[in-house]
């Protein structure tokens, strides 16, 4: 397939910045203590004082959603940074090396692409304990592979581009070329690919929390809330609504903020 | 034949890498596995018992020797025993495999069966309703968590519609779990297939055929399907990972006694031999999917297309 740059990918840095700012505020301030149990206020419906109501233990649902938002965005930011940073570094390095070293890097990236993300993350987090950094790295353990293969393909193609060859003929150094021409094009495509799959990263993080492997089991997390509230399904179905809606909204917002390439899944060949 | 052997060799090397990773992750874990096992079983970790376990697992040898012993045992079907149940993990997995495979293969078959016709209809009529449904399915795969959808379906069918039969023992138990996992992979599969069909429809090759007077629909149907199937196969291999993760979560939601549920129950007691085996089984499943996709690509396009995704 002959893509040079994803065409028509719109991103919104303002939306991304607002999400980050909102997460920072949510981490520091909630209307109520998210774990404050008040058995006199159980299952209160939506009101001005409790916009999302309270749960079966009288905890303010909005406060719990806010803490979960900060946790989720923090972990997803780690996964995204590792995917793009390591992916680009390995891909470009492989493209500049020859022979055995190149083969080792590419085979490693292929292997990472084969490992199912959620399964690897379940095993790693279950064995090494939790924490935002561990969970983020566990989810990134396999996810960087396709990014590296994509970066490698683009770097190889860039070397053959007429404008790059022309610049070389005019005496431009390879570092300058990389910085001015190759990197921006690769970063653009990496972001579009990340945008196309960022929702899955959010969902994988929530799934870990649902299975009891969230970043911090002592703090509310959307997946963990769903696991707990699913037992209240018969009496309080609305409790299940909020964390699920939060996940869906964050997936859609991140997708739009980063921008996504319609053909992204088609452009990374499976090893 | 040589090519097929090459593919199998590649898969074997990946599997070897996975085994090394699985082994060293467990060895890198903080704590002595024998002590952890005894503590998990509520026994005193006296030195004699610990030493006996070490000898049984070959932990008294050098690290490469340990790995060789573990790999030999693993390939022979000795996957150690579960802390939680005290039974061999291989037996536990084998007993639960049919449940997990039913969900996994059922979801794959359903997703592929719907994705093909949906993508062809969407490619033939841009902005038609099939096109919109496909876009919605793509967004759904990227934004709706399967475990939430599963909970909502339980609420709708069990609580609101009183369709309790869907949760009783029998083949109908699998309907909702299969639907949830299939929905997670339907979007990407249909999206790639549609993209391939559209690319063919725009290609010089089709233009040339049209110029010769061949009917458009027939050209795209004959050549387009073969070309688009290549992309579909690659994506299907990658989506096998979504299926294996999805079954683990869905089994927990719907209470199906599959491998995923067994693994999730093992998390709380850090039953690391179970996690190790699960990782190996998942990677083997991915490699089988990848191998099958590569061989199928050879069948679809024996000579390869000149302008095919790498």
In three state form, how does the secondary structure of chain B look? CHHHHHHHHHHHHHHHHHHHHHHHHHHHCCCCHHHHHHHHCCCCCCHHHHHHHHHHHCCCCCHHHHHHHHHHHHHCCCCCECCCCCCEHHHHHHHHHHHHHHHHHHHHHHHHHHHHHHHHHHHHCCCCHHHHHHHHHHHHHHHCCHHHHHHHHHHHHHHHCCCHHHHCCCHHHHHHHHHHHHHHHHHHHHHHHHHHHHHHHHCHHHHHHHHCCCCHHHHHHHHHHHHHHHHHHHHHHHHHHHHHHHHHHHHHHHCCCCHHHHHHHHHCCCCHHHHHHHHHHHHHHHHHHHHHHHHHHHHHCCCCCCCCCC
Question: How many Cβ pairs closer than 8 A exist between chain A and B?
Answer: 171
Mean pLDDT to the nearest integer, A130-158: 92
Contacts of B89 in chain A (CB under 8 A): none
What does the pLDDT look like over A60-86, one tens digit per residue?
999 999 999 999 999 999 999 999 999
Which segment of A240-254, B77-91, B211-225 scores lowest on mean pLDDT?
B211-225
| Higher-confidence position of A264 and B56 | B56
- Residue A247 backbone dihedrals phi, psi, to 5 degrees: -60, -50
Residue carrying structure tokens 């030493």: B51
CA A202, CA A195: separation in Å to the nearest integer? 11
What pLDDT shows up at residue A264? 63
Beta carbons of A266 and B192 less than 8 Å apart: yes
Across the interface, whether the CB atoms of B275 and A126 are under 8 A apart is answered yes
Question: SS3 of A44, please?
Answer: coil
Q: What is the rounded distance in angstroms from the CA atom of residue B253 to the CA atom of residue B248? A: 9
Average pLDDT of the segment spanning A239-246: 95
Chain B contacts of A244, Cβ < 8 Å? 145, 148, 151-152
Inter-chain CB proximity A237 and B148 less than 8 Å: no
pLDDT confidence of A41, banded at 50, 70, 90? Answer: confident
pLDDT for B42-69, tens place per residue? 788 888 888 888 888 777 788 888 899 8
B310: distance to nearest CA of chain A, Å? 6
Question: Cα B187 vs. chain centroid, distance in angstroms?
Answer: 16
Q: What percent of chain A has pLDDT over 70?
A: 93
Sign of CA dihedral A212, A20, B242, A91: negative
> Which of B148, B143, B153 minimizes the C-alpha distance to A240?
B148
Give mean pLDDT, residues B98-112: 95
Average pLDDT, chain B: 87
Interface with chain B: mutation pick from A1, A119, A213, highest number of B CBs within 10 Å: A119
Tell me what the mean pLDDT of segment B204-216 comes to.
Answer: 77
Residue in B with minimal Cα distance to A206: B145
Contacts of B18 (CB under 8 A, 6+ apart): A111, A114, A115, B279, B280, B283, B284
Q: Which residues of B touch A247 (CB under 8 A)?
A: 143, 145, 148
Top-confidence range, A47-51, A114-118, B224-228: A114-118
**Which of A114, A123, A240 is opposite residue B14, by nearest beta carbon?**
A114
- Residues in chain B closer than 8 A to A204 (CB atoms): 245
Mean pLDDT to the nearest integer, B70-98: 92
Q: In this structure, are residues B147 and B249 in contact, taking their beta carbons and an 8 Å threshold?
A: yes
Of the two residues B179 and A178, the one the predictor is more confident about is: B179
- Which residues on chain B are in Cβ contact (under 8 Å) with A126? 266-267, 270, 272, 275
Residue B210 has pLDDT above 80, yes or no: no
Q: Which of B191, B234, B242 lies closest to A270 in CB terms?
A: B234
Percent of chain B at pLDDT exceeding 90: 50
Say whether pLDDT at A101 is over 50: yes
Q: Looking at beta carbons, which residues of chain A come within 8 Å of B188? A: 265
Give the SS3 label for residue A54: strand
Query: Which of B139, B249, B279 has its CB closest to that of A120?
Result: B279
B196 to chain A, minimum CA–CA distance in Å? 8
With CB atoms and an 8 Å threshold, state whether A118 touches B245: yes
Rounded CA-CA distance B246/B121 in Å is 28
Whether the Cβ atoms of residue A36 and residue A60 lie closer than 8 Å to each other: yes
DSSP category for residue A31 = S
Q: Are A271 and A114 in contact (CB under 8 A)?
A: yes
- The shortest CB-CB distance from A127 to any of B154, B234, B275 is to B275
Q: Indicate the average pLDDT of chain A.
A: 87
Look at B221 and A225; give whichever has higher pLDDT.
A225
pLDDT at A53: 87
Chain A nearest CA to B60, separation (Å): 22
- Going by C-alpha positions, the residue among A146, A91, A89, A94 that lies closest to residue A117 is A146
From chain B, pick out residues whose CB is under 8 angstroms from the CB of A103.
none
pLDDT at A269: 47
A124-127 contacts: CB < 8 A, separation 24 or more? Answer: A124/B25, A125/A208, A125/A213, A126/A213, A126/B266, A126/B267, A126/B270, A126/B272, A126/B275, A127/B25, A127/B26, A127/B29, A127/B270, A127/B272, A127/B275
Q: CA B115, CA A181: separation in Å to the nearest integer?
A: 39
Token pair for residue B278? 């699960």
Residues with Cβ within 8 Å of B200's Cβ and at least 6 positions away in sequence, in order, are B206, B220, B223, B224, B227, B228
Query: Residue A129 gets which letter from DSSP?
Result: -
Residues ≥6 apart with Cβ < 8 Å to A199: A251, A252, A254, A255, B141, B142, B143
pLDDT one-digit tens code per residue, A173-231:
767 777 777 788 889 889 999 999 999 999 999 999 999 998 887 889 999 999 999 98
Q: What is the pLDDT of residues B4-43, one digit of tens each?
A: 888 889 889 999 999 999 998 888 877 777 887 787 777 8
Contacting residues for A117 by C-beta, under 8 A, at least 6 apart: A139, A141, A142, A143, A200, A204, B241, B245
Kindly report the nearest CA distance between residue A175 and chain B, in angstroms.
27
The C-alpha of A24 sits at a distance from chain B's nearest C-alpha, in angstroms, of: 23
Kindly state the average pLDDT of the residues B220-246.
87
Residue A152 has pLDDT above 70, yes or no: yes
CA nearest A254 in B: which residue? B143
Mutation pick from A110, A115, A258 vs chain B, by most beta carbons of B within 10 Å, is A115
- B275 to chain A, closest Cα gap in Å: 5
């Amino acid at each position: 397939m002959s893509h040079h740059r994803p065409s028509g990918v719109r991103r919104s840095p303002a939306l991304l910045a607002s999400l980050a700012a909102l997460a920072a505020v949510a981490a520091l301030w909630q209307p109520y203590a998210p774990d404050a149990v008040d058995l006199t206020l159980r299952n209160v419906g939506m009101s001005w004082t409790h916009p999302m109501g309270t749960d079966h233990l009288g905890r303010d649902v909005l406060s719990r959603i806010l803490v979960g938002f900060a946790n989720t965005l923090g972990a997803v930011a780690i996964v995204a940074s590792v995917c793009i940073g390591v992916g680009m570094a390995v891909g470009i390095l492989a493209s500049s090396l020859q022979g055995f070293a190149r083969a080792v890097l590419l085979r490693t990236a292929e292997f990472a692409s084969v490992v199912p993300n959620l399964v690897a993350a379940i095993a790693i987090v279950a064995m090494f304990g939790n924490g935002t950094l561990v969970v983020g790295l566990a989810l990134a353990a396999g996810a960087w592979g396709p990014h590296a293969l994509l970066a490698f393909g683009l770097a190889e193609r860039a070397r053959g581009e007429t404008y790059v060859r022309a610049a070389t003929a005019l005496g431009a150094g390879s570092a300058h070329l990389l910085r001015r021409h190759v990197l921006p094009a690769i970063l653009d495509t990496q972001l579009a690919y990340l945008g196309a799959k960022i929702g899955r990263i959010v969902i994988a993080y929530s799934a870990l929390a649902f299975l009891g492997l969230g970043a911090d089991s002592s703090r509310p997390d959307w997946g963990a809330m769903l696991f707990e509230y699913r037992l209240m399904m018969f009496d309080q179905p609305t409790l299940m609504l909020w964390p699920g809606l939060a996940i869906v909204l964050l997936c859609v917002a991140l997708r739009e903020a980063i921008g996504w390439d319609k053909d992204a899944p088609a452009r990374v060949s499976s090893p | 034949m040589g090519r097929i052997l090459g593919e199998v060799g590649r898969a074997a090397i990946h599997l070897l890498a996975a085994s090394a990773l699985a082994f060293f992750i467990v060895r890198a874990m903080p704590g002595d596995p024998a002590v952890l096992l005894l503590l998990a079983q509520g026994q005193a970790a006296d030195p004699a018992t610990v030493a006996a376990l070490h000898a049984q697992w070959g932990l008294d040898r050098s690290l490469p020797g340990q790995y060789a012993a573990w790999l030999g045992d693993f390939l022979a079907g000795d996957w150690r025993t579960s802390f939680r149940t005290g039974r061999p993990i291989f037996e536990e997995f084998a007993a639960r495999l049919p449940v997990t495979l039913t969900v996994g293969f059922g979801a794959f078959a359903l997703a592929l069966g719907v994705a093909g016709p949906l993508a062809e209809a969407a490619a033939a009529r841009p902005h038609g309703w099939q096109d919109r449904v496909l876009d919605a399915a793509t967004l759904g795969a990227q934004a709706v968590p399967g475990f939430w959808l599963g909970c909502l379906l339980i609420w709708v069918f069990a609580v609101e519609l009183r369709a309790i039969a869907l949760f009783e023992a029998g083949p109908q138990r699998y309907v909702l779990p299969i639907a949830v996992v299939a929905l997670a992979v339907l979007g990407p599969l249909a999206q790639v297939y549609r993209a391939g069909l559209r690319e063919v429809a725009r290609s010089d090759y089709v233009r040339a055929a049209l110029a010769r007077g061949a009917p458009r629909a027939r050209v795209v149907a004959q050549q387009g399907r073969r070309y688009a199937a290549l992309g579909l196969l690659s994506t299907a291999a990658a989506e096998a990972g979504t299926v294996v993760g999805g079954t683990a979560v869905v089994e927990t939601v719907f209470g199906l006694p599959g491998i995923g549920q067994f693994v999730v129950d093992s998390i709380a007691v850090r039953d690391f031999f179970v996690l190790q085996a699960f990782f190996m089984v998942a990677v083997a499943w991915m490699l089988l999917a990848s191998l099958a996709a590569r061989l199928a690509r050879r069948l679809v396009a024996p000579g390869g297309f000149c302008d095919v995704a790498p």
